[in-house]
Structure 1
Amino acid sequence: MLALALVVALLIAIGVGSVVAPRLGLPAPVLLVGLGSLLSLVPGLTGVRLPPEAVLLIFLPVLLYWESLTTSLREIRRLLRGIILNGTLLVGVTAAAIAVVLHALGVSWGAAWIIGAALGPTDATVVAALGHGLPRRTSVVLQAESLINDGTALVIYALAIGTATGQIDPTPANAAGRLALSFVGGIAVGLVTGWLLFRVRRALHEPALVNLNSLLTPLLAYLLAEEIHASGVLAVVVAGLYMSQVTPGAIAAPARQQGAAFWTFSTFILNGALFVLVGIQLPHSAGELTTDTAGHALVLVAAAYLTMLVARYGFLNLSIAVIRLVDRRPYQRTLRTTHRARVVSTVAGFRGAVSLAVALAVPGSLSDRGLIVFVTGTFVVVSLVLQGVALPRVIRWARLPDDSSVVEELRTARVAATREALEALPELGQAAGAADEVMERLTEEYEEKLAALQESEGDEAQAATRMEQRRGLTLELIARKRATIVRLRDEHTIDDTVLREIQSQLDAEEVRLLGSSSSEGS
């Protein structure tokens, strides 16, 4: 019953937090962590622990896979140098800086490096949850950085654990070898897994089986990579990026629609559950400390947090200065960022559940385990609360220019797709043996849509208004149709099976219209 009670408590907390947080002006993850801390006081839930393998084997692959499916590979290629620097070198710099500062404050080198490794990487799921309002370029860099830096941090963590337990000699050659295996092996496993499962997916036609294959992809990629001691995180990300390029033209619309709904809902639940579980874990982390070390531990948290901010901001400025000095190409000037943009990137560098999972994975035989878990867990909460509340204000202060390229590309794509469909209509109609009346109605519909899309900029607002009126009226008609078939079912004129069939068609049309509205407004 404890497992069922925990599931019910998690779902209630996710629902309450997601509804209440916007009304309080708080980021939802911040409130979810707070609700988790309150749940830890409920009898029966006080003993709940967040197993690190649950994050590393269940939450992380699924969440990172969806993030990699929905990110922009073109933007990653364009900004690859900065992403690689932030995802590798910045993690090492941050971990080293935190380790040095904590050791100076009395922490052993082993524990200091473990804490540094845990707090080195940003968290992709937190960036996605709290990064609303970020400029597109900053958002892409942060998400891509978060997708690869866990691999770097886990290598540093393995070296730190091995050193603390006397099992590994932390030589530069050893570290370089492990890092190379982690990255090269992870990339290779991700590509192979994506290639194989895509071949399987092309042979499937049932939407449920297609999406079962989709769910299997990140879990299999992570498992295979970890088996050869490569980066499971990087394998999942590479598999996701590969699938994002090859599946759009190979997957049927019903499977894609079902998959989008599944992934959107499941990642919402997993994200929320992760933050609640972090909150539940915190009181237990504090309980592992004795009262005479609690004050010192809080000093360590503050020192580590300030060190992280300084290291990140300093690295961003230094790396950009070096790049500008070395690369004098005109193209490089188009990639330059401002001081305010770097402040935004610093504040948006959240730490999350991955950091806590790394700390919880520390063997119980280490005498400093309680300190490691407490400092890391408290740091994560401080990061969520302070940076989560500050980020919207910092974004407004930065006044970064809007990126209109997506809007322009949307217009270009819609015009091109509609025009080419209209040009192909006579040939397609003849091949299908369509009646003249059908051809006339379709031609009129597509010509009207093309004319609306090609409105000049001066008439753009008026065209948008007309399209919105048409969409709204169509949605009202769908609602009227739905009410009619429900009435017919209640009058026993039609069967429930008939109702579900027609309702499914109406729902598909409504989802299409609502999706079109949201995409045009973005």
Structure 2
Amino acid sequence: MIHGVIITPFDAAAILIVLAATLGYLNRRFLHLPQTIGLTVMGVIASLIVVGIDRLSPGSRLSHEIVAFIAGIDFHATLMDGMLSFLLFAGALHIDWSEMHRGRWAILILSTAGVLASTAIIGIGFQVIAGLMGLSIPLVWCLVFGALISPTDPVAVMAIMRHAAVPPTLQATVAGESLFNDGIGVVVFAIILAAATGTEPLSLGHATHLFLLEAGGGIALGLVTGWLAYRAMHSIDDYQVEVMISLAVVMGGYAVARWLHVSGPVAMAVAGLIIGNHGVAHAMSDVTRDYLLKFWALIDDILNAVLFLLIGLEVVTIPSDMRLILLGAAAIPLVLLARGVSVLVPLAALRPFLSLGSLAPVTLIWGGLRGGISVALALGLPDGPARAFALAATYLVVLFSVIVQGGTIERVLRSRAGIR
């Protein structure tokens, strides 16, 4: 509610779409930045202007109204229970299974052992850094931060990689790892958060059981829903119905995953791979294929525009405490270090069996961006001192990741590939 006016879900959606379209136009017209980076930057600038107005005019309640508006959106529920299913399915549709199959061991290890190693390194390192600053944060809550910041989201660099001479197998590996480490990361986060809040014990056996149940159940559900959709599409030739079937897979499948308490993100990634490969190749006419892929590309673009705009606007929700800013800034090199270790060690172990090329380390490390999933998980934390630390650190890491890493990855890849 703003000044007595009740903001309905439709009003909130309309405001965000209008803002995304307006700022997207201004970015394309004047800044010429990649869309995700441009919207994030413009969202941050708009937020800082709002904060500045409040500081210069003590009677202003503009930032309070915007915080109330963003809080009313429920960013966590909007992304985790809505947008994420569409984003993962749309991303999986465009991954070449044959290329992904070549990098399957790298994807499997990076999205499981890599996520767990990154969570542990960041969690322990975060507690050490906080202690050096005189802040006392329990280890389990530091591990919660490690789990929520470990999943990567390379949306902003996928198009760049296609123009920077990155081998197709490496492209598929980066995309496949991001899809599955999103799902695995959410599962790990949920397990550690349950232990931190005291609702579930944190033991290796119990955590392994929950992990296998949620991740394995998600894979099984994705295989079933993807296969059913593939068979249905194969038996007809009507692009309108087939696009609706793909929508039913995403919305219905994600709802079923929640009812069954299995990983919806993993299920949608698997279903998207099946439809994007077997479905596109064997179950669709040229007309249907064109409509379906363009439909999901547009959905992906719209949702990502809104998502990265929201990330930029979130700056007004961060408490203005210098200790939080310093801790968040210190978390940036820690996260990069953890990513480096969790990538380089598996790649070294796999070298006798698989070589992804000389571009693999820099692509996976510098191109492993953090995005909306990390912000949504941080915003979903229960109220308490640990939430403020985690939210500030998450925001600064994501901001650095999207703007600095996303803004320089093309030059880095071209330089390493010897392309001017």
Per the normalisation by structure 1, the TM-score is 0.69
Q: Tell me the residue number matched to 2:23.
A: 13
1:121 and 2:151 correspond: yes
Could you say if the C-alpha distance between residues 126 and 396 of structure 1 is closer, same or farther in structure 2, counting changes exceeding 3 Å? closer
Paired residues of 1:131 and 1:348 also in contact (CA < 8 A)? no
- Amino acid in structure 1 at the alignment position of 2:400: V
Aligned to 2:372: 353
1:312 aligns with 2:342: no
Contact 1:151-1:182 within 8 A present in 2 as well: no
Aligned to 2:36: 29
Structure-to-structure mapping, 1:40-59, within 5 angstroms: 40=47, 45-49=66-70, 50-59=74-83
Are the counterparts in 2 of residues 351 and 383 from structure 1 also a CA contact under 8 Å? yes
Aligned position for 2:4: none
8 Å CA contact retained: 1:114, 1:359: no
Task: Mark the structure with the bigger radius of gyration.
Answer: 1
CA distance in 2, matches of 1:390, 1:253: 37
For 2:112, what is the secondary structure of its paired residue?
Answer: helix
Counterpart mapping for 1:445-464 below 5 A: none
Report if aligned partners of 2:148, 2:185 keep a CA contact under 8 Å in 1: yes
Tell me if the contact between 1:94 and 1:120 (Cα under 8 Å) persists in the aligned partners. Answer: yes
1:192 alignment counterpart? 224
CA contact (8 A) 1:52 1:357 kept: yes
The one of 70, 90, 95 aligned to 1:66: 90
Q: CA deviation at 1:62?
A: 1.1
Secondary structure of the 2:394 match is helix
How many residues are matched? 383
**CA offset digits 1:22-55 (Å, max 9, x no partner):** 2xxx333222012223444665645332521211
Alignment of 1:476-487 (within 5 A): none
Q: 1:236 aligns with which of 252, 268, 285?
A: 268
* Structure 2 counterpart SS, 1:48: helix
2:149 partner amino acid: L
Superposed counterparts of 1:420-499, under 5 Å: none
> Cα deviation per residue 1:375-394 (whole Å; 9 max; x = unaligned)?
11121011111101221221
**Partner residue in 2 for 1:420:** none
| 1:238-278 superposed Cα distances (whole Å, 9 cap, x missing partner) | 11111123323322333322223322222111111110011
Shift in Å at residue 204 of structure 1? Answer: 4.6
Equivalence for 2:312: 279
User: What's the offset of the Cα at 1:88?
Assistant: 0.9
Secondary structure of 1:54's counterpart equals helix
Using the TM superposition, give the Cα deviation of residue 91 of structure 1 relative to its aligned residue in structure 2, in angstroms: 1.0
Looking at structure 2, the residues matched to 321 and 297 of structure 1 have their Cα atoms a distance apart, in angstroms, of: 36
Residue pair 2:103, 2:170 contacting (<8 A) in 1 also: no
Within the alignment, does 1:362 sit opposite 2:381 as a pair? Answer: yes
Distance in 2 (alpha carbons) for counterparts of 1:70 and 1:307: 32
Question: Is the aligned partner of 1:216 residue 2:223?
Answer: no
1:350–1:185 distance in 2 versus 1, CA, 3 Å: same
Deviations 1:279-304 (CA, angstroms, capped at 9, x unpaired)? 112221x1xx2x5xx22222322332
In 1, the alpha carbon distance for the partners of 2:254 and 2:292 equals: 20
Q: Structure 1 CA distance, aligned partners of 2:81 and 2:247?
A: 13
> Which residue does 1:484 correspond to in 2?
none
CA distance in 2, matches of 1:375, 1:301: 4
Greater shift, 351-360 or 221-230, is seen at 221-230
Aligned equivalents of 1:143 and 1:400: distance in 2? 23
- The separation in 1 between residues aligned to 2:44 and 2:350, in whole angstroms, is 44
Counterpart position of 1:410: none
- After superposition, the Cα gap between the structure-2 partners of 1:183 and 1:400, relative to the gap in structure 1 and judged at 3 Å, is farther
Give the letter for the 1:48 counterpart: F
Distance 1:302 1:37, change over 3 A: closer
Distance in structure 1 (CA, Å) of the matches to 2:160 and 2:361 = 17
SS of match in other structure, 1:169:
coil
SS at match of 1:368: helix
Residue in 2 aligned with 1:450?
none
Corresponding residue number in structure 2 for 1:303: 330
Between the two structures, name the one with larger relative contact order (CA 8 Å, sep ≥ 6).
Answer: 2
The whole-number CA distance in structure 2 between the counterparts of 1:390 and 1:310 is 18
- TM-score, normalised via structure 2 length: 0.84
CA–CA distance in structure 1, aligned partners of residues 259 and 213 of structure 2: 12
1:116-168: CA deviations, max 9, x gaps? 11111101434436545350333211110001002221122112211221111
Give 1:180 shift: 0.9
Change (3 A) 1:171 1:397: same
Unpaired runs of 5+ residues, structure 1, are 402-522
List alignment gaps of at least 5 residues for structure 2: 1-6, 51-61, 132-136
Aligned pair 1:342/2:380, yes or no?
no
Which letter maps to 2:401?
S
Over the aligned positions, Cα root-mean-square deviation in angstroms equals 2.3
Shift of 1:307: 1.7
Q: Residue deviations 1:325-382, cap 9 Å, x none?
A: xx4xxxx36x2533x5412321101000011111111123x33212221211121011
The 3-state SS of whatever aligns with 1:351 is: coil
* Partner Cα distance (2:294, 2:406) in 1: 27
Q: Say whether residues 1:262 and 2:281 are aligned partners.
A: no
Partner residue of 1:150?
A: 182
Contact kept in structure 2, 1:194 and 1:239, CA below 8 Å? yes
> Partner of 1:47: helix, strand, or coil?
helix
The change in CA–CA distance for 1:161 and 1:122 in structure 2 (over 3 A counts) is same
Alignment partners' CA distance in 1, 2:16 and 2:277 = 38
